Amino acid sequence: MFNALRARFRQGHRTVGFPDKPPVLPERYMGRPQWDAALCRADCDACIQACPTAALTKADGALRIDLGRCLFCTDCTDACPTGAIQFTREYRMATDTREALVVNDRPFQLAKALDKQAKALFGHSLKLRQVSAGGCNACEADVNVLTTVVFDLSRFGIQFVASPRHADGLLITGPVTKNMELALEKTYEATPNPKIVVAVGACAVSGGLFADHPETHKGAGEIVPVDLYVPGCPPHPIAILDGLLRLLGVIER
């Protein structure tokens, strides 16, 4: 026992200081993409052709990037001859509407807090049932990381529970395969009202790479109403945590 205590003492404080302190992100982290209209050629669509999920489109000469479909794979930046598209270090990407995930020349709209009544119910104790609806386990792994001592999700009163009957909402990963459709519907129905739904990762938001496959849906929004969208493939744990805390009104900046 003394050896265990000695080792724990040497390790020191391991929990990240976020949200009171800026997060320390890995050097290779790629956050919200940005587009420089001045560098973009009107006759060029190399980035659009390179995107594997059709996340990029052009309308009236302006590029539109759908973060809900984006895999953050850098195929677009590699294809762009002028460097008009770049991935930033911005981890704040969670929104409360699907439309807000489309990046263009307007200011990016981050997720807003729940209404006053919902904040009173969930603000200090939010129990979530995680549903893997056909995911590859990447988003599931990063969601699981949130429960470790490094991120310590429970310090905000947020916990994952084993039964939807004990939950205040669902956190969904995966594109929702046809085999998981009924299971998701039943899990949603078993969750008491009022409840919230969080879609984590490109697959849960839009279907991701599998959006046009006949055996999958185009994300959780086709089956259940979604209150929070967290894009990424997979999203960084800090991006998920940031979205949840914005929904609860803990972060407002």
pLDDT at 10: 75
The pLDDT assigned to 196 comes to 96
78: burial class by Cβ within 10 Å (0-12, 13-18, 19+)? exposed
H helix runs in 66-152, sequence order: 75-79, 116-122, 138-145
> In terms of Cα–Cα distance, which of 225, 185, 204 is closest to 142?
204
Torsion sign across C-alpha atoms 219, 224, 229, 233: negative
Contact between 78 and 195 (Cβ < 8 Å): no
Separation CA 49–CA 53 (nearest Å)? 10
Burial of 183 from C-beta contacts in 10 A (0-12 / 13-18 / 19+): middle
The token pair that represents 163 in the structure block:
């039964």
Rounded Cα–Cα distance for residues 84 and 186 (Å)? 45
Whole-number pLDDT of residue 11: 67
**pTM, to two decimals:** 0.93
Over the stretch 160-206, which tens digit does the pLDDT of each residue have? 999 999 999 999 999 999 999 999 999 999 999 999 999 999 999 99
Q: Quote the pLDDT of residue 198.
A: 98
Instruction: List the chain residues with pLDDT less than 70.
Output: 7-8, 11-13
Tracing tokens 């209150």 back to the chain, one arrives at 227
Q: What backbone torsions phi and psi does residue 13 show, to the nearest 5 degrees?
A: -80, 120
10: three-class secondary structure by DSSP: helix
Q: Supply the pLDDT for residue 13.
A: 65
pLDDT at 72 (0 to 100): 96
Tell me the HSE value of 198 on the side-chain side, using a 13 A CA sphere: 32
CATH architecture of the region 116-247: 3-Layer(aba) Sandwich (3.40)
CB atoms within 10 A of CB 46: 16
What is the pLDDT, as a whole number, of residue 56? 95
Which tokens in the block code for residue 139?
């988003």
CA angle at 67 for the pair 65 and 71, rounded to the nearest 5°:
105
Looking at residue 180, what is its pLDDT? 96
- Tokens 């009236």 belong to 60
Report the C-alpha gap between 55 and 61 in whole angstroms.
16
Nearest C-alpha neighbor of 200 from the set 149, 243, 248: 243
Q: How many Å apart are CA 170 and CA 99, to the nearest integer?
A: 21
SS (H, E, C) 22-60: CCCCCCCCCCCEEECCCCCCCCCCHHHHHCCCCCEEEEC
